[in-house]
Amino acid sequence: MSEEPVVSLKAIGKHFGEGATRVDALRDIALDVFPGTVIGLRGPSGSGKSTLLNVIGCITEPNSGSMWLNGELVYDDKWLRSDLRGLRLEKIGFIFQSHNLLPFLNAWENVAIARILAGATKAQARARALELLDYLGVSHRKDAMPGQLSGGEAQRIAIARAMANDPRIILADEPTAALDSQRAGIVMDLMRKVAEERRTAVIVVTHDEKIFNRFDHIFALRDGMLEAPAAKAA
């Protein structure tokens, strides 16, 4: 690939506790994720998947190594940017296992809030939200409250929110865990569409074997170490 990686990790380490209670959650992690690719992270519970996602999402500070986001060195044995919140807002989109839509906002407001937080006016944010809902095929549910949405619809709204600020990378934590096979397939298709059409890198943490064949690469984590990518399933 000739493009610069969107995410580049070099020798990332993360441990919790010290001495006898020390647990190495991540050990010497090296990973490059390129624009337009959909990467899977799998592994048993406690293998470090969520910790890795939190490190890439600038939520958890690693203990060692270096990390680049969109070509910018953001971690080199310490955070190099004080404004991690702004970094997340501008460059990273999040999709959660249980959609995490704000229950007091309707569908379009849930998408628009991310734009508003980035400084857009309400009108600009609304226009962007409606465009994304249309793009993801849920514009007819724009005024519905989260409690009125099906699991698949809610997850699509969550994807729209993750895309609201045109992030360079989308981090998804078990996005299909609560969906049946058909809806899980639709959600993965949408993420693929977003990755290819908008050149966004997508990293998905999953246990869901039925979607393993939807990734460009699947990395397995075991005891905090990243194993070589598995061959893409047929």
Please report how close the Cβ of residue 234 comes to other proteins at its closest, in angstroms.
30
Report if residue 127 touches other proteins, rule: CB under 8 A.
Answer: no
Distance set, CA 122 to CA 57, 89, 118, 127, 139 (Å): 26, 17, 11, 9, 18
Please report how close the Cβ of residue 161 comes to other proteins at its closest, in angstroms.
7
Report if residue 225 touches other proteins, rule: CB under 8 A.
Answer: no
- Contact letters (x/-) for other proteins, 151-190, by CB under 8 A? ----------x-----------xx--x-------------
Please report how close the Cβ of residue 212 comes to other proteins at its closest, in angstroms.
20
Burial of 149 (0-12, 13-18, 19+ CB in 10 A): buried
Report if residue 124 touches other proteins, rule: CB under 8 A.
Answer: no
Residue 209 and residue 60: Cα distance in Å, rounded? 27
Residues in the interface with other proteins (CB under 8 A) total 34
**Of residues 30, 76, 77, 122, which one binds other proteins by CB under 8 A?**
122
**Of residues 17, 85, 134, 180, which one binds other proteins by CB under 8 A?**
85
User: Do residues 25 and 224 lie in contact, with contact meaning Cβ atoms separated by under 8 Å?
Assistant: yes
Report if residue 208 touches other proteins, rule: CB under 8 A.
Answer: no
Q: Which of residues 17-56 bind other proteins (CB under 8 A)?
A: 50, 53-54
Q: Report the residue number, 34 or 99, with the smaller CB distance to other proteins.
A: 99
Report if residue 114 touches other proteins, rule: CB under 8 A.
Answer: yes
Encode 105-143: b = buried (16+ Cβ within 10 Å), e = exposed.
ebbbbbbbbbbbeeebeeeebbebbbebbebbebbebbe
Rg of the chain taking only CA atoms, in angstroms: 18
CA angle 98, 234, 173 (to 5 degrees): 15
Please enumerate in sequence order all residues whose Cβ is within 8 A of that of 192, keeping only pairs 6 or more positions apart, or say none.
Answer: 38, 202, 214
Q: Which residues bind other proteins (CB under 8 A)?
A: 50, 53-54, 57, 59-60, 85-86, 88-90, 94, 96-98, 100, 102-105, 109, 112-114, 116-118, 122, 125, 145, 161, 173-174, 177
